[in-house]
Structure 1
């Protein structure tokens, strides 16, 4: 990414170190690779699917934002 700005780089990037990023992990949910935001032990929120199968995206249980239970199946 290229950022064109008349401002000094220090001002543009001020506070970037303090930004909090959600803890995400790659897991398999029912055999479908997905990215899940960790909300606690075995609990999470589906962020996105990584599947190449279009039918996986039609599953109403695999919509981003859905709460999911997962085991330690990280890649």
Structure 2
């Protein structure tokens, strides 16, 4: 079986259930992001899920950046 997906291997086949359960899809200024909740009550961007190339150029949404949705 061949799985054609844009998702990374770690997302499709997570190492642990805990790592996968921390990740959620959020929308920040209309940009779909895969993020994880941190202990500091913020989201850390894991991956940009958009198909728009301009969203990848936005420095606010780069992987590793922290976002506060309050």
State the match for 1:66 in structure 2.
65
State the match for 1:27 in structure 2.
26
Shift of 1:64: 0.2
TM-score (norm 2): 0.65
Runs of 4+ in 1 over 6 A off after TM superposition: none
User: RMSD value over aligned CA atoms?
Assistant: 2.5
| Ranges in structure 2 where 5+ consecutive residues have no aligned partner | 1-14
1:35–1:49 contact (8 Å) kept in structure 2: yes
1:42–1:70 contact (8 Å) kept in structure 2: no
Shift of 1:70: 2.4
Instruction: Specify the structure having the higher radius of gyration (Cα).
Output: 1
1:45–1:67 contact (8 Å) kept in structure 2: yes
| Ranges in structure 1 where 5+ consecutive residues have no aligned partner | 1-15
Structure 1 pair 41–26 and aligned structure 2 pair: CA distance change class (3 A): farther
